[in-house]
């Protein structure tokens, strides 16, 4: 079969499967039940197979009909998403930013509202995702991501972070004072593992080794998180000590939710990059945002370098 069935017939079939019958599908679509039945016959004739069968007064999908319906649902959802994205792209007052979830929630989001307060006419769409969006599609204006990108026409390094040990001040016990880095091993050590998506941040063994501490007895798998923000939240709740990226815990240290008992940082294996879509720099507010965020990245880089010195 080289031609697709009628799109209208597929739309009616999707509604019949979703709402469980011809009458309800007709009501939702605003057409008659006879029109629904006619479109169903056209679709089945076009496909050369039955998609439904009757059980009493109700209609059920055949096994093949169910598989076809699942594909139709997915296709219509993609069309709906595409339509929304096109409408967003047409607006000159939209700024669409995609970022890794933890970086978005713990670093970028708190910063970006400062920028938006100076640009109240801009609508912000923030998407936390590990999936890399297409740089030439409608999805985003900018992507903040991690890895070995290297500077290109559309990508620029924001900063290379470092990790430091932090914990809740309420977790500390008088009989377990933190006088030296080795004293941290008296507390639960929370870990972060990004594999296989990215090379993971430095481990507790890495950090203790740089502090000349024998860590042969630590438990590597005590509690391991795939998201940095989850591990940081666990530390805020007093569940352990986490080796966290400074960019993501600076505010929590400032407001006292976390303390940094030893200000010795260990550099991350890669940097964060700001990647712009091909048409992003055609818009004045995108150019302004790009300059602003690159400056914030430089600020963050300076702080990280102080913790490494």
Q: Are 138 and 81 in contact (CB under 8 A)?
A: no
Tell me which architecture the domain covering 93-160+270-308 has in CATH.
3-Layer(aba) Sandwich (3.40)
Q: pLDDT tens digits for 161-208?
A: 999 999 999 999 988 999 999 999 999 999 998 877 777 889 999 999
Query: What mean pLDDT value characterizes the chain?
Result: 88
User: To the nearest 10°, the Cα dihedral for 212, 215, 216, 219?
Assistant: -160
> 89: left (phi > 0), else alpha (psi -120 to 50), else beta?
alpha
pLDDT tens digits for range 91-103: 678 899 999 999 9
pLDDT for the residue numbered 294: 96
Domains 7-88 and 162-267 share a fold: no
pLDDT computed for residue 88 by the predictor: 59
3-state secondary structure of 176: coil
Phi-psi region of 230 (alpha: psi -120 to 50; beta: other; left: phi over 0): alpha
| Bridge partners, 143 (sequence order) | 98, 275
Q: What is the domain class of 162-267 according to CATH?
A: alpha beta
In 3D space, the residue among 300, 303, 188 whose CA is nearest the CA of residue 242 turns out to be 188
Residue pair 164/264 in contact by the 8 Å Cβ criterion: yes
Average of per-residue pLDDT across 217-245: 90
Q: What dihedral do alpha carbons 170, 173, 178, 181 form, nearest 10°?
A: -90
What's the pLDDT score for residue 138?
52
Domain boundaries, the chain: 7-88, 93-160+270-308, 162-267
As a whole number of angstroms, the distance between CA 280 and CA 260 comes to 39
Give me the pLDDT at residue 152, please.
62
- pTM of the predicted model over 0.75: no
Fold of 7-88: Arc Repressor Mutant, subunit A (1.10.10)
């Amino acid at each position: 079969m080289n031609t697709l069935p009628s799109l209208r017939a597929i739309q009616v079939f999707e509604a019949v499967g979703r709402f469980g019958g011809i009458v309800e599908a007709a009501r939702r679509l605003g057409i008659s039940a006879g029109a629904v039945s006619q479109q169903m016959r056209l679709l089945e004739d076009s496909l050369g197979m039955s998609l439904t069968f009757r059980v009493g007064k109700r209609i059920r999908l055949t096994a093949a009909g169910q598989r076809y319906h699942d594909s139709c649902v997915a296709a219509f959802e993609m069309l709906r998403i595409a339509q929304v994205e096109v409408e967003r792209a047409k607006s000159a007052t939209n700024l669409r930013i995609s970022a890794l979830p933890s970086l978005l929630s713990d670093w970028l989001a708190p910063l970006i509202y400062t920028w938006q307060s100076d640009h109240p006419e801009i609508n912000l769409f923030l998407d936390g995702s590990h999936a890399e969006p297409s740089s030439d599609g409608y999805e985003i204006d900018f992507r903040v991501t991690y890895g070995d990108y290297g500077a290109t026409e559309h990508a620029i390094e924001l900063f290379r972070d470092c990790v430091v040990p932090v914990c809740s001040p309420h977790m500390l016990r008088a009989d377990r004072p933190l006088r030296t880095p080795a004293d941290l091993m008296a507390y639960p050590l929370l870990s972060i593992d990004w594999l296989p998506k990215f090379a993971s941040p430095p481990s507790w063994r890495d950090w203790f080794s740089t502090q000349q501490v024998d860590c042969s007895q630590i438990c590597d798998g005590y509690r391991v998180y795939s998201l940095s923000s989850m591990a940081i939240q666990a530390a805020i709740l007093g569940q352990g000590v986490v080796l966290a990226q400074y960019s993501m815990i600076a505010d929590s240290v400032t407001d006292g939710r976390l303390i940094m008992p030893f200000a010795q940082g260990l550099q991350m294996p890669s940097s964060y990059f700001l990647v712009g879509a091909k048409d992003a720099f055609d818009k004045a507010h995108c150019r302004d945002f790009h300059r602003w965020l690159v400056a914030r990245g430089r600020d963050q880089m300076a702080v990280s370098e102080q913790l490494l010195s």
